[in-house]
Amino acid sequence: MLDVESGAVHLVDKLAYDMLEHLTPPLEQEPPKSLLQAFSSYPEEEVAETYRELYRLWEDGQLFAPDGHDVFVEKLGLSPVKAMCLNVSHDCNLRCAYCFAGKGDYHQGRMVMDARTGKQAIDYLIAASGDRERLEVDFFGGEPLLAFDTVKAVVDYARSREPETGKRFRFTITTNGMLLDDEKIDYINREMSNVVLSLDGRKSVNDKVRARIDGTGCYDAVVPKFQKLVQRRGDGEYYVRGTFTKYNKDFGQDVLALYDLGFDQVSVEPVVSDPKEPWALTEEDLPEVFAEYDRLASIILDHRLRKTGLNFFHFMLDLSQGPCAIKRLRGCGCGNEYVAVTPDGDVYPCHQFVGMEQWRMGNVFDGTLDKDKKAYFAASTIYQKPDCRQCWAKFYCSGGCNANNFRYEGDVRKAHTLSCEMERKRLECAIGIKAAQLLREQEVTV
């Protein structure tokens, strides 16, 4: 049982669970007579004892906690920019069917970023970062390794500016692997704090949607390179990141296929695309998707108990030491503390907004950043999103993806329903895994 506003998670027995339906705060110290009558099939002492346990939780603010809007909202405002998605390449050597970026060029024409623009973007980020010390730059595309010289120049330049500015850069890169070689692997493993490797799982699944320009699949070309990168990376952070579509609603098999290839840090996520596309997931797919998440949850639980190291990104959940409530109010921070920069230096709220002219926020060469748009994104918290305010998962997904909200619902503040349904299911699984893990571990210690 999740107490939404406090964040407490309790395991309750059937009596306590059923009793919750009958209770409305504020609670009285002793069980009301009506409650004893409603549960007259149970011994009266047991009902009273259960009630007192619930009462104690309520008294401690761990049950029926009130809406914390007033506490949270005064903490919000504009934030310095601390993260940048640097689209060093609006070109790609793959033509993945579901690509949100127009097969790599974001519908803006194929181009790569030159080093001058990349360095200017670093200056722009430093200037917009206020008192933030840790700055993040993700090399993205298209395929960023098509602009590897720019990547290296940007990293060198950013590092050179660290001592005088007091900033510390953290670099990440997302790659399809096609251009990886020994030099790039070693460079990435040395300079990138995280690397996201795009691969969808089984060969048949991957090659159906992740194809080269000539239509042939990329699986055989990239898997050995990814394996080499991960083997050489040691303990360094990485994710093999796949997408599942209507073609592989049994995506748990793809998680396991990736694990069998030697990848233990795995993220396989639902495609988000126009419902008219043949690969698009739609409402009618949800029962199968939900059943597969349940199946995958059992598999991941089993792996956790056996300590195999397999980690599924969307089932990771830190119930006690996770991010603070302030972070949870507006999630990714796009347009406020996170921006994307195109090869010609244009600034957008995030990579998903790139190419939507109405959302362009500025340019790194003239140092502009649209204050009104920034303020709009800063204010787009879960409390400004009516669907979110009522949702039990609001402090876990933080209002979802603003770009998807806009693209598919026409409004940044209107939740993309399909994504929400899958997000809630994943959270349910993640909490369930935590609960089961705890119970099993207790059994072992007893």
Q: Which of residues 227-256 bind other proteins (CB under 8 A)?
A: 239, 241, 243
**Number of other residues whose CB lies within 10 A of the CB of residue 311:** 17
Rounded to the nearest whole angstrom, what is the least distance from the CB of residue 357 to other proteins in the complex? 21
Rounded to the nearest whole angstrom, what is the least distance from the CB of residue 69 to other proteins in the complex? 11
Rounded to the nearest whole angstrom, what is the least distance from the CB of residue 321 to other proteins in the complex? 6
Q: Which residues pair with 168 in a beta bridge?
A: 134
d(CA 391, CA 424): 9
User: Does the footprint of other proteins cover residue 143 (CB under 8 A)?
Assistant: no
Q: DSSP letters along 280-335, please?
A: ---GGGHHHHHHHHHHHHHHHHHHHHHT---EEGGG---TTTS--HHHHHHTT-BT
Is cis: bond before 242, omega within 30 of 0? Answer: no
d(CA 214, CA 109): 20
Stretch that binds other proteins, among 212-220, 245-253, 292-300, 319-327 (CB under 8 A): 319-327
User: Does the footprint of other proteins cover residue 344 (CB under 8 A)?
Assistant: no
Q: Residues 28, 44, 133, 149: which binds other proteins (CB under 8 A)?
A: 133
User: Does the footprint of other proteins cover residue 148 (CB under 8 A)?
Assistant: no
Using CB under 8 A as the binding rule, the residues of this chain from 272 to 301 that contact other proteins are: 272
Stretch that binds other proteins, among 89-97, 227-235, 331-339, 355-363 (CB under 8 A): 331-339
Torsion from C-alpha of 362, 367, 371, 376, nearest 10 degrees: 50
Q: DSSP letters along 360-390, please?
A: --EETTTT---HHHHHHHHT--GGG-HHHHT
Using CB under 8 A as the binding rule, the residues of this chain from 377 to 436 that contact other proteins are: 395-401, 404, 419, 423, 426-427, 430, 434-435
Tokens describing residue 403: 């770009």
Stretch that binds other proteins, among 59-67, 245-253, 279-287, 294-302 (CB under 8 A): 59-67
Using CB under 8 A as the binding rule, the residues of this chain from 73 to 132 that contact other proteins are: 75, 79-80, 82-83, 85, 100, 132
Distance of alpha carbon 101 from its chain centroid, rounded? 18
Stretch that binds other proteins, among 58-66, 115-123, 151-159, 207-215 (CB under 8 A): 58-66
Rounded to the nearest whole angstrom, what is the least distance from the CB of residue 161 to other proteins in the complex? 19
CA angle 258/262/265 to nearest 5° reads 65
User: Does the footprint of other proteins cover residue 179 (CB under 8 A)?
Assistant: no
